[in-house]
């Protein structure tokens, strides 16, 4: 089997060692006589995997003791609803910073739950090409929280310095850049991230939440949607997605073996340097619509002179064993997703292909 260079936006590339470990362990977890897929979520064998996954999140990010780590289902999209259901009480308003399609969706859900306002938007004709500055944020000092999307998977923009929201809790959807580097968790009230971009398979969301916010959360919502229910039960209130948790464990163990998040950040920055370097060098052929200071290191988007050339590039890349380059249908063009599991080797090979393609087709 020839594994391709996979630049999919999500579900996305997984580190080969994490998959090989799953392959080795699939039929028998430890010496338990059965697969992790067959274990009770109440048994000690599964519990060890579950605890290790949570401990790895804590360790890799140095999550402070006054934060809960939760492993939940329903995708990041369910968090669009759970955040306001828990944290937006009647009589309060929440602030949303719009930087792309996902933040728009998060705002829509909040409006169904309570009062939510736009604290800033960088949309121009429905497109987003940059992250707002602190000065552009019109923050309500009485807001229940401020919501941002740390990396905009469709439009290819990313926050590198997080906004200062004073005493108002900052909530971030980090689905597509969670653990691309270390960050200061204590600056956030709550962080959520679907695993299928940067740290695992689909079917699981990691939530980090300040304990006081969880404790003060609304009680007039169904139990299954309360953060407190899951925090109090170590994310074992009901049956968790055991195999997804297991795979996240494998990926995080691999991240730790790479030298932790500082080493991973170095690698991610180098990939960005190589890829944007090639695009800038060939800027008469490839056009990056994103402001230089907002360029995402996770999703690199650009256009070619014509859609026909974009199709041709995608076809040639496929022949060379590189897949997942088609831009999101709302944006068009090319999108290269360079999450943690995408190697520098893959990015370097793609950069070379971009050079050759521009030379042959300019």
Ligand X SMILES: *Cc1c(COP(=O)(O)O)cnc(C)c1O
Q: Which of 10, 156 has the CB closer to ligand X?
A: 10
Task: Judge contact between 252 and 199, C-beta under 8 A.
Answer: yes
| Closest distance of CB 94 from ligand X, Å | 17
Q: Which residue is nearest to ligand X (CB)?
A: 75
| Binding-residue pattern over the window 63 to 92 for ligand X, x denoting contact by CB under 6 A | ------------xxx---------------
Strand intervals (E) in 43-189? 67-72, 93-98, 115-121, 123-124, 127-128, 146-149, 151-152, 157-158, 170-173
Centre a 10 Å sphere on the Cβ of residue 109 and count the other Cβ atoms it contains.
18
Q: 95 forms bridges with which residues in the sheet?
A: 117, 146
246 sits near ligand X (criterion: CB under 6 A): no
8 sits near ligand X (criterion: CB under 6 A): no
Active site residue 159: no
Task: Judge contact between 146 and 187, C-beta under 8 A.
Answer: no
Active site residue 102: yes
153 sits near ligand X (criterion: CB under 6 A): yes
Among residues 95, 173, 177, 271, the one annotated as catalytic is 173
**Which residues make Cβ contacts (< 8 Å) with residue 205, sequence separation at least 6?**
71, 72, 73, 74, 75, 76, 78, 79, 175, 192, 193, 194, 195
Count of residues that interact with ligand X, criterion CB under 6 A: 12
Task: Judge contact between 331 and 155, C-beta under 8 A.
Answer: yes
109 sits near ligand X (criterion: CB under 6 A): no
Q: Of residues 52, 95, 109, 173, which one binds ligand X by CB under 6 A?
A: 173
Among residues 95, 177, 180, 197, the one annotated as catalytic is 197
102 sits near ligand X (criterion: CB under 6 A): yes
Q: What 3-state DSSP class applies to 205?
A: strand
| Binding-residue pattern over the window 304 to 323 for ligand X, x denoting contact by CB under 6 A | --------------------
Active site residue 180: no
205: left (phi over 0), alpha (psi -120 to 50) or beta: beta
197 sits near ligand X (criterion: CB under 6 A): yes
- What is the torsional sign of CA 154, 156, 160, 165? negative
CB half-sphere exposure, 174, CA atoms < 13 A: 24
Centre a 10 Å sphere on the Cβ of residue 262 and count the other Cβ atoms it contains.
10
| Closest distance of CB 186 from ligand X, Å | 22
10 sits near ligand X (criterion: CB under 6 A): yes
Centre a 10 Å sphere on the Cβ of residue 258 and count the other Cβ atoms it contains.
15
333 sits near ligand X (criterion: CB under 6 A): no
Among residues 102, 159, 180, 254, the one annotated as catalytic is 102
Tokens of 249: 């464990």
96 sits near ligand X (criterion: CB under 6 A): no
| Binding-residue pattern over the window 112 to 151 for ligand X, x denoting contact by CB under 6 A | -------------------------------------x--
- List the catalytic residues: 102, 173, 197
Q: Which residues contact ligand X by CB under 6 A? A: 10, 75-77, 102, 149, 153, 173, 175-176, 194, 197
């Amino acid at each position: 089997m020839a594994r391709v260079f996979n630049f999919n936006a999500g579900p996305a590339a997984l580190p080969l060692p994490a998959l090989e470990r799953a392959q080795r362990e699939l039929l028998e977890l430890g010496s338990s006589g059965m697969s992790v897929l067959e274990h009770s979520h109440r048994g000690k064998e599964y519990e060890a995997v579950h605890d290790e996954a949570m401990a790895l999140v804590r360790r890799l990010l140095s999550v402070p003791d006054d934060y809960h780590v939760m492993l939940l289902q329903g995708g990041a999209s369910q968090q669009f609803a759970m955040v306001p259901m828990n944290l937006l009480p009647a009589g309060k308003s929440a602030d949303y910073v719009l930087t792309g399609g996902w933040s728009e969706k998060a705002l829509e859900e909040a409006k169904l739950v309570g009062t939510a306002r736009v604290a800033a938007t960088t949309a121009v004709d429905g497109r987003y090409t940059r992250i707002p500055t602190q000065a552009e944020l019109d923050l309500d000092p009485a807001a229940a929280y401020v919501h941002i999307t740390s990396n905009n998977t469709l439009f290819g923009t990313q926050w590198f310095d997080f906004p200062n929201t004073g005493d108002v809790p900052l909530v971030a959807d980090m689905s597509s850049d969670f653990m691309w580097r270390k960050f200061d968790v204590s600056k956030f009230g709550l962080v959520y991230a679907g695993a299928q971009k940067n740290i695992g398979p689909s079917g699981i969301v990691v939530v980090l939440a300040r304990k006081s916010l969880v404790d003060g959360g609304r009680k007039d919502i169904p139990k299954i949607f309360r953060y407190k229910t899951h925090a109090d039960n170590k994310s074992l209130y009901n049956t968790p997605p055991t195999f997804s948790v297991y795979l996240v464990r494998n990926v995080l163990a691999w991240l730790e073996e790479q030298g932790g998040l500082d080493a991973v950040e170095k690698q991610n920055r180098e990939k960005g340097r190589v890829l944007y370097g090639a695009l800038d060098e060939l800027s008469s052929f490839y056009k990056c619509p994103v402001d230089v200071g907002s360029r995402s290191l996770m999703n690199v988007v650009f256009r070619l002179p014509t859609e026909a050339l974009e199709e041709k590039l995608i076809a040639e890349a496929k022949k060379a064993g590189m897949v997942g380059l088609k831009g999101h249908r709302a944006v068009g063009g090319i999108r290269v997703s360079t999450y943690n599991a995408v190697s520098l080797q893959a990015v370097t090979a793609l950069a070379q292909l971009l050079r050759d393609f521009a030379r042959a087709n300019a």
